[in-house]
Amino acid sequence: MCNLEFMRLRPFFSHQFTPLPPSSRGSLLTMKLALPYGGRRSGRNPVFVFVFLFSVLLFAMLKYNEHVGSMAEYSFGGAAAKSQRVARQKLHVVRLSRVGGAEEEQTVSERTASESAAKAARVPSVGSPVHEQAKPQRAVLDVPESCNLFDGRWVYDDVSYPIYEEQECAFLTEQVTCMRNGRRDGRYQRWRWLPRECNLPRFDAKVMLERLRGKRLMFVGDSLNRNQWESMVCLVQSAIPWGKKTLTKNASLSVFRAEEYDATVEFYWAPFLVESNSDDPKAHSIRNRVITNSIAKHGEHWKGVDYLIFNTYIWWMNTPEMRVLRGTEYSMVDRPVAYRRVLRTWARWVHRNVDPEKTTVFFMSASPNHMRSQDWGNPGGVKCAMETTPLANASRRVAIGTDWRLFAEQESVVRSMRLPVSLVRITALSELRKDAHTAVHTLRQGKLLTAEQQADPATYADCIHWCLPGLPDTWNEFLFARIASRPWRI
């Protein structure tokens, strides 16, 4: 080994040694020192031999220590990497939950991708410096586009849900605060949607806000999209300090701002998407509603938005025919035909005004109502009032009055579009949630229902809108899964 180390060092010492004749190369100890100042060139120099051997020994020890250090680093680094892989796995906790008198095994807790990433980031590696605070991680969820998130079942989960408490979100309106308005059972808040093919990640406010940093997200449509907008505001606001978030309302546009993220979550009132005589966000209770073929006025407010979520449905359900303005006269048009025309007008606006490299577009399918309790086998009930559990997860569609012709038009138009638009198919899974409406625990013409009105659900129960926390939080988990699973844009 010493000979090998010497040969490596030979170029370094070339100015101090003169080559020996072949007959004198038997031993390193017979080498002669070539002194530059003209001293003896023959004989042994004990000092040199000692220095040389000490240098070789020291160099060998350093190489050995380096080798041992690299082995230790590999060993501990491998352990840390293994810990990180374990931390990234989803944790499934199974328990027995009693629902409707029967015990059912249900998955009650799944760690989100960001929670696992945070744990992995806390695993230290040997020799690496300790930082006081890591930079925000650009998490990417593992929810493939090919997975059908909307085929699944409802499971009762009183561990992970609700994601937030009603009293924790000061931005909720009285229309949706059912518990504050007198509802006694809170089980409707604790149902989680479980897809059959893949996992639906629990909403993570910090991950969503990182995706929204420097961006705008806007819901456009009717009061059901406003319902979902309130849900999104409550979902993200929990991760923002109180003095760093604001909500402003100006005519048709409401804007929630997260200052530290330079992000907004907005709602724009356009119940038919196209212009109509119901576009006033406060005075829109009009008996004879008339729609037009124009979308330009509304569309000016949508330009440049990074995430657009559209809907239109419930206002189409008042009459089987729609009044469509042509010039100064209107004509009566069958509901599905008029709906198709409006969606095509909307699709043209998207093609002309949306840059797919910058803007992601979603369309929410119909939000169903529950007006006739006999539709789900409860002839003694009154609309959706006093319903406390979802419908059983049926293998066939429940007939509760949803106009599936409009759903078909949504699918057809979205499928025909050149730009990518995601249709969020919430209709069938929401039909099962007869328990989640505001019912009599809500407002009527801007005022809370009185005790007498609450006692008359046949007249006053609202079986269109949804309590919060509640079902719209699940709709937003669909958006979260799609948004946070896509690659980051530079």
| Residue-wise pLDDT tens digits, 345-360 | 999 999 999 999 999 9
Residue 136 banded pLDDT, cuts 50, 70, 90? low
Q: Does pLDDT of 247 surpass 90?
A: yes
Look-up of token digits 């230790």: 72
Bond prior to 162 in cis (omega within 30° of 0): yes
Note the pLDDT of residue 99.
36
> How would residue 397 be classed by pLDDT, with cut points 50, 70 and 90?
confident
Residues 483 and 307: beta-carbon distance below 8 Å: yes
CA distance 481 to 490: 20
Q: Which two tokens stand for residue 114?
A: 């960001």
Contact 306, 215 (CB under 8 A): yes
pLDDT given for residue 139 in this prediction: 81
Q: Supply the pTM of this predicted model.
A: 0.74
Residue 465 annotated as catalytic: yes
Among 415, 481, 443, residue whose Cα is nearest residue 181: 443
Q: Which of 6-15, 47-56, 98-107, 413-422 has the highest mean pLDDT?
A: 413-422
Q: With cut-offs at 50, 70 and 90, classify the pLDDT of residue 214.
A: very high
- pLDDT by residue (tens digit) across 159-176? 999 999 999 999 999 999
Between residues 342 and 445, the one the model is more confident about: 342
**Is 107 or 442 the better-scoring residue by pLDDT?**
442
Of the residues 276, 435, 465, 473, which is catalytic?
A: 465
pLDDT at 91 over 50: no
Q: Which of 222, 279, 435, 462 is catalytic?
A: 462
The number of CA neighbours under 13 Å toward the Cβ of 31 is: 19
Nearest to 188 by CA among 459, 1, 432, 424: 432
pLDDT at residue number 488: 84
Q: Is the pLDDT of residue 96 over 80?
A: no
pLDDT (0 to 100) of residue 172: 98
Task: Check if 462 is active-site.
Answer: yes
The mean pLDDT of the chain is 81
Query: Cis omega (within 30 of 0) on the bond before 469?
Result: yes
Catalytic residue among 223, 278, 373, 430: 223
pLDDT the model gives residue 31: 38
CA-to-CA separations, 390 to 308, 370, 393, 435, 478, in angstroms, rounded: 30, 12, 8, 6, 19
Q: Which of 108-112, 131-135, 471-475 has the highest mean pLDDT?
A: 471-475
Q: Known catalytic residue: 157? A: no
Phi and psi at residue 39, to the nearest 5°:
-75, -165
Amino acid 387: pLDDT: 97
Q: Assign 134 a pLDDT band (cuts: 50, 70, 90).
A: very low
Residue 251: Cβ-neighbour burial (10 angstroms; 0-12, 13-18, 19+): exposed
Beta strand pairing call for 307-310 and 216-221: parallel
Point out which residues pair with 323 in neighbouring strands. Answer: 290, 332
Angle, vertex CA 51, rays to CA 50 and CA 56, nearest 5 = 100
Closest CA to 426 of 439, 401, 407: 407
Rounded CA separation 120/2 (Å): 45
Span 12-63, pLDDT tens digits: 444 443 344 444 444 433 333 333 434 444 444 555 555 566 565 655 554 4
Task: Give me the mean pLDDT over the 361-386 stretch.
Answer: 96
* Nearest CA-CA partner of 400 in 369, 377, 429: 369
Residue 143 pLDDT exceeds 90:
yes
Long-range contacts of 270-273 (CB under 8 A, 24+ apart): 270/220, 270/221, 270/222, 270/298, 270/312, 271/221, 271/222, 271/223, 271/312, 271/315, 272/222, 272/312, 272/315, 272/316, 272/342, 273/220, 273/221, 273/298, 273/310, 273/312, 273/342, 273/343, 273/345, 273/346
pLDDT at 57: 60
Element (H, E) at 194: strand 191-195
Per-residue pLDDT tens over the stretch 269-312: 999 999 999 999 888 888 899 999 999 999 999 999 999 999 99
In this prediction, residue 452 carries a pLDDT of 97
Taking the alpha carbons at both ends of the chain, their separation in whole angstroms is: 54
